[in-house]
Structure 1
Amino acid sequence: MTDEFHRIRRLPPYVFAEVNKAKAAARAAGEDIIDLGMGNPDSPTPPHIVAKLVEAVQDPRTHRYSVSKGIPGLRRALAGYYRRRFDVDLDPETEVVATLGSKEGLANLASAITSPGDTILVPNPSYPIHQFGFIIAGAGVRSIPASPDEEMLRALDRAVKHSVPKPTALIVNFPSNPTAYLADLDFYREVVSFCRQHDIWIMSDLAYAEIYFGEKVPPSILQVPGAKDIAVEFTSMSKTYSMAGWRMGFAAGNQKLINALTRMKSYLDYGAFTPVQVAAAAALTGPQDCVQEMRDLYRERRDVLIRGLHAAGWDVPSPDGSMFAWAPIPPRYAHLGSLEFSKLLLARAKVAVAPGIGFGEHGDTHVRIALVENTHRLRQALRNIRSFLQSESNEAPREAVPSGHAA
């Protein structure tokens, strides 16, 4: 017997586990670690959504098996959101399916449409499930640049000319995790035109659609005429409504892709707990003040973080969207790479961040900082980082910090 199963062999060791191990060791030793690593919203779910969950759970009929593709009211609510937000019409019966978070939807659609050896185009760096969902399904992944510009478009053209077999699908993710890039509708038009010409499916991850800070409002790729011929888009309740643990998301768009995902899910799950779906529908159709409040909260945290990092001598671009800052490793520590720098920052500044290598090899020059602590804790983190970076005795190490070292 082999030491590892076939699909497990295709998954590298989870990079974030090393930082998590060091973080756990530090906390076990009584140290106060400020965790800006995982994109885990710290704000409570808005009260009216929780109230709807409580109301629904009182009905014993909701405790039975639910509907894998999502209860009709929830699918109608998502279609209503697309109509209001993007002026896109969706058929709730054939163009919408509810998922257990966008991550589950992406992975199951990858399994549904992938044949062994298919070539899939994925930005690098990118959220891990974007490539590993397809790798698990047996595909080969070709990396393309992550920025929504001519560089990505040229890479698409090269990929079609030089990939064997020809690419069958493309992942796009804007506002992006981890880079916080935003795309505009003109870019999406170019992508849709190219992919229609070359018979390439598009999977758009729009989980951060409502987290933006300027006048540049993230569009949906489905706004492009003809996009529904080849594209499906994933959205999530996790960030918009601080419902990460509820595991509620959606796929919307091309009927063939939606049908494939629906059929796959029908064999794998019975859908989210019905009261969760009822509450999610209430979130989408109810008062939306909470969405603006969430946006204002992340904007305030972004401003505190970026100003503080600049004051500490760390030049980090201010993100226009998402709940992350994509921070280039300070030149003094660039030789360490993102994993060892993250471990050093944890050991010396007591701040946990996500190493960029966890999002692909082209992310190794950066770390991702999540806006998941209140401003008081962010300022504490910034004081620690500033002390670490500006300490005269703090020579940049030539060797890596030992794994699990927390002091």
Structure 2
Amino acid sequence: MPKALLSALPTDALKGRRVVVRADLNVPLSEAGEVADDTRIQASVASLRHLVEAGARVVLLSHLGRPKGRPDPAASLAPVARVLQSALGSPVRFVPDLVGDEAAAAVASLEPGRVLLLENTRFEAGETADDPALARVLAGYGDLFVNDAFGTAHRAHASTAGIASAIRAAGGRAVAGLLLERELQFLGDALADPERPFVAILGGAKISGKIDVVEALLPRVDRLIVGGAMANTFFLALGLEVGHSLVEPDRVEMARELLERGGDRLLLPIDVRVADEIAPDAEVRVRARAEVRPGDRIADIGPESEAIFAAEIRGARTLVWNGPMGVFELEPFRGGTVQLAHAVADAADGGATAVLGGGDSAAAAEVAGVSDRLTHISTGGGASLEFLAGEALPGIEALDEREDA
């Protein structure tokens, strides 16, 4: 069912109201402990600014890293608060406490139009266990919960699913923020009613991590392009040599079944770039997929595959892309990913809806310099995969249903 949205709430109903916002501020930090990439912070600003301008009292929650349920100074949100304040253009108070007396006092004294960022939710062991007691404490900080953290929506944690249920049980509301609304809009529309031709591109290392996505997309797409190391398992299913390439031998039968089901809708590379070693100074050779030698390591798609895939992509009206075509982190093996990224951007320039999954896909778009030309780049890696696979995401399921649905 469609979920209730922050954007649908009357602005005057937010004035002076204490609103608990779960954002995804899980950003990389440098060795010096400073924010190294503020992409997720920038993505969170829209909902926060909306609430600040409406005069709400905003209590902000997020995790950072994996501190394993105990305080870790290296995973503190203190540096995030400084960058967020600059991005938001209004004060952000940080309190190095989540559920103690200092946090409670800060929440109680919070003024309208101000943002309070509490410490890393994962400093509490009950966070990842979705502990009801922790969820109730967090729910006590407000009577409206806004989930704007798509990147953690596939986790049933206390600050995502648990708090939503607790606030609703206490008579409050739980709604999707502006960023989460955008994620649901583009990923949901891509699956529910795509403009055709609908082309999906899947890459990355393992077929096992994306098998549910492949199975969900195959009946819906006009073309499913497969690249990256996961294509090697399909090569094995075709009886081809893959040398020392990364493969999943236990998934060969699965790949064979998908090839039979997909028919000509499932496109594999016809040539590949190989090397003796996957290294920054590797000597790259191009081989037809049927000519790979026992000593080769496949690390990217080849130029003929680039041309075939790019033609399919440029002719699409809806595109979903998750995962690179090769080891794009290394310059010798990023050509396929970069070429496809430009093809996706060209399609978007021509009016197609082009949606990228998070994680490596977003990083690849940055490397290719096309991020600003795409329709939507998801902020969730694992969450976007599970959403595309048609799985229910706990952080979304726990929200109110839209009343007009």
TM range (shorter): under 0.3
Give the helix-richer structure, 1 or 2.
1
Name which one, 1 or 2, has greater alpha-carbon Rg: 2
Determine which structure has greater relative contact order: mean sequence separation of CA pairs < 8 Å that are 6+ residues apart, divided by chain length: 1
TM-score scaled by length of structure 2 = 0.28
TM-score scaled by length of structure 1 = 0.28
